[in-house]
Structure 1
Amino acid sequence: MTSQTTVDAADETPDAPSTPGPAKGLRGHPWLTLFSVAIGVMMVALDGTIVAIANPAIAKDLGTSMAGVQWITNGYLLALAVALITAGKLGDRFGHRQTFLIGIAGFALASGAIGFSGSVSLVVTFRVLQGLFGALLMPAALGLLRATFPAEKLNMAIGIWGMVIGASTAAGPIVGGLLVEHVSWQSVFFINVPVGVVALVFGLVILKDHRAKNAPRSFDIAGIVLLSGAMFSLILAIIKTGDGWSWSEGKTWGLIGLSLVCFVAFAICETKVREPLIPLAMFKSVPLSAGTVLMVLMAIAFMGGIFFVTFYLQGVHGLSAVDSGLHLLPLTAMMIIASPVAGLLITKFGPRVPLVGGMLATAAAMFGMSTLEADTGTVTMSFWFGLLGLGLAPVMVGATEVIVGNAPLELSGVAGGLQQSAMQVGGALGTAVLGAVMASRVSNDLPGNWADAKLPPLSPDQLDQAASAIQLGAAPVPPNVPKPVAEQITTVAHDTFMSGMGLACTVAGIVAVVAAFVAILTKAGSNTEAGAASVHI
């Protein structure tokens, strides 16, 4: 192949150009490359939240519990998180163009398969495949940008790249609402097929292959297995506590213990192998470490908090999927408006102040959302949603520069994978941890609220079934119940749900405050402007 020959020659020639030269024609043109990768990145980022608005419809159609719905989200996020760093190394080793195109094709095919799935187990299975293929294209996109753009324009390109991710993440609920209400929940996944075809065509025509000169030549299989096992065990333990397991049970702590053992073994393994999955020396950089932790904490607060908002809008307020998405428009609009402004501020003043301010605004928004009631009006909701978008924008835009800019140049793919992996791990932890918080509060409050309303007593099994419905914002009203009794049950269900959601949002706000302190340790990377020099074309 021509691209292979070009890259190999560059690797062997010490005088290969250190910065991208002027683009000739379509292939390798910087701005067309940005446009091409943005289509793929948009598809993956959108899918992280577009499914949130479809969760109630999926749960109703497939008859699943809160844990089942969580796995539809977490299966995708976990697969992304586990595979992103490995995918970054694949791009560094075999070429970012190839991994990007394979990721696009696989993501589109897995999306179509989900639309034809008739059970939760199949949906989760194909969501995992979606995540694996999505992991291939995310760090490859960043690697292509760093290789294609001249040094003086790289910051601008990374800022736009971050803005696309942020805007797509925020736009998910609106797009999902339109599709769910006017077509079906399956259409949320089918839409990725034509978008994937467009992205694939653009990629084949425009993208030019690039590989780092000092890219890794082997893969840390033991590291991949240990890190995957550690994260899977931890998330499974947390999710199961929200689906019937107790924190006092041996099997819960057995999984947590297994996770800790795997994490420790992973850390030891990384110090022994020649080319580790995550070179631990990277974390000697305090800003890089702080940026990674910041991404995890931000995603816990954002993804965990927004997970319940869709159930609140549709279940408690009784809004349609489209109206739910429209109620989240302030969040989307503020992220789109604030992202380029945040990019300018970060370029001029550095990332520290915008990131700290963004996380404090996020914390304020989450604390505000914890005060929402079953009858809260649109204006109040819009204010808190808009403030959340304002707070998230600088973090979405700035964290990429902090992590990638402070990483060694030859590990650009690994750093890109680390940044996205941190976000996906945080998203999975957010839905799992806050889901467990919600489940615990609902289970604790429901018996007392039910008794105080003088409703007919329920057996333990009936209480469990009612709690499962309430966690999804639904009122467990049996058929043929007199209207006054149905209204009482609905009031109890909504009050109990709001108590759980309030606690979950409070926890998310506390996490955001911690993230603001972590953001103090960030600074602009010394490698960002020299990013292009690491890639020989």
Structure 2
Amino acid sequence: MTAPAPDPRRWLVLVAMTGSLSMIMLDQTVVSVALPTMARELPLTPHGQQWVVNAYVLALAALVALGGRAADLLGRPRAFRIGVSLFFLASAGCAFAWDGTSIVVFRALQGAGAALMMPVSATIVMAAFPAHERGRVMAIYAGISQVFLALGPLVGGLLTEYVTWRAVFLLNVPVGLATLALVAVARVENRPVTGARISVPDVAMVVPGLALLTLGVQQLAGWGRVALVPLAVGLGLSVWFVVRQLRSADPLIHMRLFADRGFTGDAVVMGLVQFGLLGIVLYSSIYLQELLGFGPMAAGLAALPLILPLTLAAQVGGRWFDRSGVRSPVLTGMIVCTVGVVAWLAALPALSYVLQLPGMLLVGVGLGLTLSPTNTDALGRVSDDERSQASGVVQTVRQVGGTLGVAVIGGVVLGVGPALPGRTGTAEAIASGFGVAAVAFGLAALAGAVLLSTASRPARSPDVRVR
């Protein structure tokens, strides 16, 4: 019997989901350049500026695993629409914030909306396309969104310099409305998982646990030993939650997902990549502006040697995954990425942008080959009904990894900096932070070699199409 023709509306789904993830990624970095202007107008203390960034990441990391379960309970498109609506309404609130407290509250609400959107968007894309197209389309989905992560400082700089810092947040409103319209036109099927429920005691452990764990990591450099208190409490609650899930007949999050070596390998690789990536994006922007004297717009344009190879290599990585699975593109990508970071850090003390270009190009290629295959493979290893949960677990690992990376890399840079005064000393301190990122990428290559090399390819699950 001839298979039914693919529904052409699946491309509308891809556009909508890619747009939503791009919004989330953009908002992780777009605010950094606008912060000094925001601080003068609202006004914000240095502590308040830090919380404009931290509130978003904190809410996202604490709630993203719960977002996957909410999709099972409500149905994927309904959970997604709620997340998008909350995200763009909170963005409008940020744009019209009147003081430091209001901007922090609205940023936290943005993170909560992103936590509902992020886990379900990838699963909606996976369900809309047949198995043989998934590597290619997930490369588009992941590759474009990572471009927006790196473009954040440029977009923030342009809008702050030529319009207003408030436009940084208003940008999300039309994108959110267009996303809702595309989902409505595509008519994504709403299928809640039968019998799905959310355990209040489990939520009472996992949300505060992840929130306190993230808070402790964020504040290690600023609070000193005091930060160990929320870190320890968060770790204890998280461990207790994991034990409860392993013993539960109906767990909130299925920890048995990690019984699959391939899924575990994908999650570890993505967590380690995010650990190094956010630190590199943050400190390369600081390096260009503070040490080389680039303006916000010039600093954003200077990131193109990282962005363009990432975009192109993501398409290669997706097609490579379709042909041969996850192991080859990921191992190649992580090795290339590690070599690129080492070359990049070696060029930093010379205070020359041109000397950094080879390292930037290699890192972009390596990230592009790695990101979409790992995400696609992780979600391809579970049944359609478990994909929202699996996506939530993977995104939690990524967010915690990124938060930990910024804290650890920042601690290394700040710790080395005072011992090496002057511009060259500051460049060497940032190079030390890049060295930590290189170690993370090297560990990701090792984890991929150990876990993915022995994992079987995921079974092809039945195609579930847009209706």
The normalised TM-score by structure 1 is 0.79
Please give the residue correspondences for 1:225-264 in structure 2 after superposition, counting only pairs within 5 Å: 225-243=204-222, 245-246=223-224, 249=225, 251-264=226-239
Answer with 157-166 or 345-354: which moved more: 157-166
Answer with 131-140 or 232-241: which moved more: 232-241
Gaps of 5+ in 2: none
* 8 Å Cα contact 1:84/1:135 also seen in 2: yes
How far is the alpha carbon of 1:70 from its aligned partner?
4.5
* 8 Å Cα contact 2:383/2:461 also seen in 1: no
Gaps of 5+ in 1: 1-18, 450-491
How far apart, in 2, do the equivalents of 1:284 and 1:399 lie? Answer: 17
Q: Quickly say closer, same or farther: Cα 1:286–1:441, change in 2 above 3 A.
A: same
The answer to whether structure 1 residue 162 and structure 2 residue 142 are counterparts is: yes
Which residue in 2 is equivalent to 1:273? 248
How far apart, in 1, do the equivalents of 2:415 and 2:347 lie? Answer: 19
Question: How large is the RMSD of aligned CA atoms in angstroms?
Answer: 2.7
- Which one of 256, 267, 278 corresponds to residue 303 of structure 1? 278
1:244-271: CA deviation from partner (whole Å, max 9, x where unpaired): x33xx3x333333213311221112112
How far apart, in 2, do the equivalents of 1:528 and 1:129 lie? Answer: 38
The answer to whether structure 1 residue 396 and structure 2 residue 371 are counterparts is: yes
| SS of residue in 2 equivalent to 1:371 | helix
1:44-93: CA deviation from partner (whole Å, max 9, x where unpaired): 2222233344345545664543x655443333223222222221222222
Q: Quickly say closer, same or farther: Cα 1:278–1:92, change in 2 above 3 A.
A: same
1:359-382: CA deviation from partner (whole Å, max 9, x where unpaired): 222222333333344662221233
The answer to whether structure 1 residue 45 and structure 2 residue 45 are counterparts is: no
- Which one of 407, 410, 417 corresponds to residue 392 of structure 2? 417
* 8 Å Cα contact 1:88/1:414 also seen in 2: yes
* 8 Å Cα contact 1:140/1:413 also seen in 2: yes
AA matched with 2:241: F
The answer to whether structure 1 residue 136 and structure 2 residue 113 are counterparts is: no
| SS of residue in 1 equivalent to 2:219 | helix
AA matched with 1:229: P
Which residue in 1 is equivalent to 2:95? 115
The answer to whether structure 1 residue 175 and structure 2 residue 175 are counterparts is: no
How far apart, in 1, do the equivalents of 2:461 and 2:330 lie? Answer: 23
How far is the alpha carbon of 1:351 from its aligned partner?
1.5
| SS of residue in 1 equivalent to 2:188 | coil
Answer with 171-180 or 193-202: which moved more: 171-180
Please give the residue correspondences for 1:369-380 in structure 2 after superposition, counting only pairs within 5 Å: 369-373=344-348, 376-380=351-355
Which residue in 1 is equivalent to 2:291? 316
| SS of residue in 2 equivalent to 1:163 | helix
How far apart, in 2, do the equivalents of 1:118 and 1:366 lie? Answer: 41
Which residue in 1 is equivalent to 2:201? 222
AA matched with 2:399: Q
Q: Quickly say closer, same or farther: Cα 1:56–1:371, change in 2 above 3 A.
A: farther
| SS of residue in 1 equivalent to 2:253 | coil
Which residue in 2 is equivalent to 1:333? 308
The answer to whether structure 1 residue 522 and structure 2 residue 452 are counterparts is: yes
Answer with 106-115 or 71-80: which moved more: 71-80
* 8 Å Cα contact 1:173/1:325 also seen in 2: yes
Q: Quickly say closer, same or farther: Cα 1:381–1:173, change in 2 above 3 A.
A: farther
| SS of residue in 2 equivalent to 1:211 | coil
How far apart, in 2, do the equivalents of 1:295 and 1:396 lie? Answer: 7
* 8 Å Cα contact 1:70/1:431 also seen in 2: no
The answer to whether structure 1 residue 532 and structure 2 residue 463 are counterparts is: yes
- Which one of 20, 28, 31 corresponds to residue 11 of structure 2? 31
Higher share of residues assigned helix: 2
1:473-509: CA deviation from partner (whole Å, max 9, x where unpaired): xxxxxxxxxxxxxxxxxxx3x3453243122111111
How far apart, in 2, do the equivalents of 1:418 and 1:21 lie? Answer: 33
AA matched with 1:369: W
Which residue in 2 is equivalent to 1:497? 426
| SS of residue in 1 equivalent to 2:276 | helix
* 8 Å Cα contact 2:274/2:399 also seen in 1: yes
The normalised TM-score by structure 2 is 0.90
* 8 Å Cα contact 1:230/1:259 also seen in 2: yes
AA matched with 2:447: V
AA matched with 1:509: A
Please give the residue correspondences for 1:45-84 in structure 2 after superposition, counting only pairs within 5 Å: 45-55=25-35, 57-58=37-38, 62-65=43-46, 68-84=48-64
AA matched with 1:445: A
* 8 Å Cα contact 2:12/2:183 also seen in 1: no
AA matched with 1:425: V
How far apart, in 2, do the equivalents of 1:258 and 1:33 lie? Answer: 41
How far apart, in 2, do the equivalents of 1:20 and 1:327 lie? Answer: 48
AA matched with 1:308: Y
Q: Percent identity?
A: 27
* 8 Å Cα contact 2:187/2:466 also seen in 1: no
* 8 Å Cα contact 1:84/1:420 also seen in 2: yes
- Which one of 111, 114, 126 corresponds to residue 106 of structure 2? 126
How far apart, in 2, do the equivalents of 1:436 and 1:133 lie? Answer: 30
Q: Quickly say closer, same or farther: Cα 1:233–1:192, change in 2 above 3 A.
A: same
How far apart, in 2, do the equivalents of 1:376 and 1:399 lie? Answer: 35
How far is the alpha carbon of 1:341 from its aligned partner?
1.0
How far is the alpha carbon of 1:438 from its aligned partner?
2.3
The answer to whether structure 1 residue 351 and structure 2 residue 326 are counterparts is: yes
AA matched with 2:437: A
AA matched with 1:513: G
AA matched with 2:200: I
How far is the alpha carbon of 1:527 from its aligned partner?
4.7
Report how many aligned residue pairs link the two structures: 463
| SS of residue in 1 equivalent to 2:72 | helix
How far apart, in 1, do the equivalents of 2:108 and 2:215 lie? Answer: 14
Q: Quickly say closer, same or farther: Cα 1:496–1:228, change in 2 above 3 A.
A: farther
AA matched with 1:111: S
| SS of residue in 1 equivalent to 2:438 | helix
Which residue in 1 is equivalent to 2:164? 184
1:193-242: CA deviation from partner (whole Å, max 9, x where unpaired): 11112112222222322326x55521133333322333332332333332
1:128-155: CA deviation from partner (whole Å, max 9, x where unpaired): 2111111212222223223332344334
AA matched with 1:48: Q
How far apart, in 2, do the equivalents of 1:32 and 1:92 lie? Answer: 22
How far is the alpha carbon of 1:167 from its aligned partner?
2.8
How far is the alpha carbon of 1:112 from its aligned partner?
1.6
Q: Quickly say closer, same or farther: Cα 1:515–1:33, change in 2 above 3 A.
A: same
* 8 Å Cα contact 2:133/2:322 also seen in 1: no
| SS of residue in 1 equivalent to 2:463 | helix
How far apart, in 1, do the equivalents of 2:247 and 2:394 lie? Answer: 24
AA matched with 1:307: L
Which residue in 1 is equivalent to 2:441? 512
